[in-house]
Amino acid sequence: MQKTAHHALYRSHRPQTFTDVYGQDHVVDVLKAAIKNKKIAHAYLFVGGRGIGKTSIARILAREIGVSDKDLYEMDAASHTGVDNIRELREAVQVMPFESPYKMYILDEAHMLSKSAWNAFLKTLEEPPAHVIFVMATTDIEKVPDTIQSRCEVYAFKQPTRAVLAKMIADVAKKEGYALEQSAADLIAMLAEGSFRDGLGILQKVLTLSKDKKVEVAEVELVTGAPRHHLIRSLTEALAYNKRTDALAAVESAVSANLDMRMLVRLVLERIRIVLLLAHAPDLAEQLGAELLPDEFEALKKIAADKNQKITTATLRLLLEAYDTMHFAALPHLPLELAIIDATVSGE
């Protein structure tokens, strides 16, 4: 059995040092400077989407300031929401570290704490023992009281770009002994929706089922149910040139292949967006080109430059509406079919 079946990639490839971190330089650089200048805060609030490195960076920070495993405590606030849990924490922080200069407490999903728990925690944050550092991680800063935020150093983590995600995925695959086709890495990055953890989860499935050490985009499509490249291009071009029959035929092909319909719409939305931006803001061409493979981008540039193409902002809105309603539709592909009919209302 292949190695990938024996370990979770998101655990075995979790960054161990600041150098290993992808896409969060604005956070890493400040923390490294704080450590160098011996200006460690007593409380940090890490804010950002799931799976983008908040807890990993908290652990790296702990190691960098000499906190051993014995003095590092992690608490899932989602399952320890009550005031009693915080009272226990308040008592525990008074105890000196076992073998480190600091004790660090990492509170994941901090926004899940109850109002009474936050009130109980506030006093400790105002006057913490000198040997204690708190790192709170949250995906929803709006649920963290202002009184708590004002007593922390707040770091907003960025959602990684697709290019950053694709590089991380390709690097991990290489470490596992696999070579990823660039388009395969790009597709996994897109499917990950801005999450390093989700990207590695998808890569895990792909590597586990790969028959050799070279992974092509077709394997990723097969494992994930992602729409085939030719279907995405066919549907985009059919919408651009008002070819209703071709567009509906592409949808039917996707349905017959049991492909993920929402993913199909997402991919087409992305391409419609790029066509519109190329047509109305050509100065963005270089930046937009980084989001797609060269051949795909050239095809979209050709559409955008064609005065006979029919893509408008209305096309984009119709597809967005279809994407939003697919979750609730009796037939997942029906909203897309209706959007196509409306977008090509003038006929072929």
Q: What is the pLDDT of residue 137?
A: 96
Q: How would residue 6 be classed by pLDDT, with cut points 50, 70 and 90?
A: low
> Is the confidence at residue 272, as pLDDT, over 60?
yes
Q: What is the pLDDT of residue 165?
A: 93
> Is the confidence at residue 230, as pLDDT, over 50?
yes
Check which CATH number belongs to the domain holding 258 and give it: 1.20.272.10
- Considering the domain architecture, whether residues 181 and 218 belong to the same structural domain is answered as yes
Q: What is the pLDDT of residues 137-192, one digit of tens each?
A: 999 999 999 999 999 999 999 999 888 999 999 999 999 999 998 888 988 998 88
Looking at 185, 200, 224, which one is the last position of a domain?
A: 224
Check which CATH number belongs to the domain holding 192 and give it: 1.10.8.60
pTM over 0.85: no
Residue-range definition of the domain harbouring residue 247 = 229-343
Q: What is the pLDDT of residue 1?
A: 37
Domain-located, residue 105: yes
136 neighbors 152 (Cβ within 8 angstroms): yes
Domain-located, residue 260: yes
Domain-located, residue 16: no
> Is the confidence at residue 118, as pLDDT, over 60?
yes
Q: What is the pLDDT of residues 185-211, one digit of tens each?
A: 988 998 888 899 999 999 999 999 888
- Considering the domain architecture, whether residues 46 and 142 belong to the same structural domain is answered as yes
Mean pLDDT across 289-297:
77
Looking at 156, 173, 202, which one is the last position of a domain?
A: 156
Q: What is the pLDDT of residue 205?
A: 93
124 neighbors 42 (Cβ within 8 angstroms): no
Q: Cα 56 to the chain's mean position, in Å? A: 15
Q: How many CB atoms lie within 10 A of CB 15?
A: 18
Looking at 224, 252, 276, which one is the last position of a domain?
A: 224
The neighbouring-strand residues paired with 103 are 132
Domain-located, residue 87: yes
